Chains A and B, each alone.
Chain A
Amino acid sequence: MTGQPISFTAPTAPTPPAAPTVTLARAVDAVVQYDGRTLAFDLIALAALFFAVVCWHLTNPLLTFETQFGSAFRNVTLQPVMAIGLLVCAGALIAARRPIRHPVIGAAAIALGLVCVYMVLAIVLSVNLSGLALGVEPALFRERLTDATPRDGLGAALTLSAPLVWIAVAAIIILWQPWTRLSVYTRAARRQWAALLIGVLVLLLWEGAIALFQIQEFLLPRPSVIAAAFGEVYPRLVSAGWNTFQNAFWGFVVGCGAGIVTGMVAARFVGFSRALLPIAIGINAIPIIAIAPLMNNWFGALNPASKIGIVALLTFFPAMISTVRGLTSVDALSLELMHTYAARPLAIFRKLRLPSALPFIFSALKVCTTLSMIGAIVSEYFGGSTAGLGFRIRDDAGLFRYPEAWSAIFIAALYGILFYLVVSAVERTLMAWHVSFREP
Chain B
Amino acid sequence: MTPSSIVTAAPIIAIKNLSKTFRTADGADVHALDSINLDIADGEFIALIGPSGCGKSTLLRMVADLIPPSTGTITVSGKTAEKARKDRDYGFVFQSATLYEWRTVIKNVELPLEIMGYSKDERRARARAMLSLVELSEFEDKYPWQLSGGMQQRVSIARALAFEPRILLMDEPFGALDEMTRERMNNELLRIWGAMQGMTVIFVTHSIAEAVYLSSRVVVMSPRPGRIAEIIDIDLPRPRGTETRDLERFFHLTSRVRHALRGGVSGGGMNE
Contacts and interface: CB of A to CB of B under 8 A. Distances in A.
A8 B144 CA distance: 10
B22 interface: no
B88 A341 contact: yes
A12 to B, nearest CB: 12
B187 to A, nearest CB: 9
9 cross-chain pairs, A with B, having the tightest CB-CB distances, nearest first: A340-B92, A7-B148, A433-B102, A355-B102, A342-B86, A333-B98, A343-B115, A341-B115, A341-B112
A6 B161 CA distance: 23
Given A1-B188, A352-B100, A339 B66 contact: yes
A146 to B, nearest CB: 58
Chain A interface mostly = loop
Given A333-B94, A341-B88, A438 B66 contact: no
Given A1-B188, A5-B148, A341-B112, A336 B141 contact: no
A15 interface: yes
B21 interface: no
A1 B184 contact: yes
Interface string B49-91: 0000000000000001110000000000000000001111011
A7 B64 CA distance: 33
Nearest to A18: B141
A197 interface: no
Interface of B: 64-66, 85-88, 90-92, 94, 96, 98, 100-104, 106, 111-112, 114-116, 135, 141-143, 145-146, 148, 150-151, 184, 188
A4 B88 contact: no
A337 B94 contact: yes
A347 interface: yes
Interface string A102-127: 00000000000000000000000000
A431 B102 contact: yes
Contact of A6 (B87, B88, B143, B148): B148
A192 to B, nearest CB: 27
A351 interface: yes
Contact of B100 (A1, A8, A334, A342): A334
Contacts of B91: 340
Contacts of A355: 100, 102
Contact of A351 (B86, B111, B141, B150): B111
A9 interface: yes
B146 A15 contact: yes
Nearest to A13: B146
A4 B112 contact: no
Contacts of B65: 339
B175 to A, nearest CB: 14
A15 B143 CA distance: 10
Contacts of B135: 1
Contacts of B143: 433
Nearest to A438: B145
A194 interface: no
A434 B145 CA distance: 10
14 contacts: A4-B184, A6-B151, A9-B145, A9-B146, A331-B98, A333-B96, A336-B66, A337-B92, A340-B66, A340-B90, A351-B111, A351-B115, A434-B101, A435-B101
Contacts of A343: 115
A356 B102 CA distance: 8
B146 A8 contact: yes
A20 B104 contact: yes
A430 B64 CA distance: 34
Contacts of B150: 4
A287 B181 CA distance: 57
A341 B165 CA distance: 10
Nearest to B141: A18
Contacts of B115: 338, 341, 343, 347, 351
A178 interface: no
Contacts of B114: 347, 351
Contacts of A338: 115
B142 A15 contact: yes
A125 B101 CA distance: 45
Contacts of B100: 334, 351-352, 355
A16 interface: yes
Interface string A1-32: 10111111100000110101000000000000
Q: Among A9, A20, A340, find the residue whose CB has the most chain B CB atoms closer than 10 A.
A: A340
Nearest to B104: A20
Nearest to B97: A333
A435 B148 contact: no
A340 B66 CA distance: 7
Nearest to A358: B102
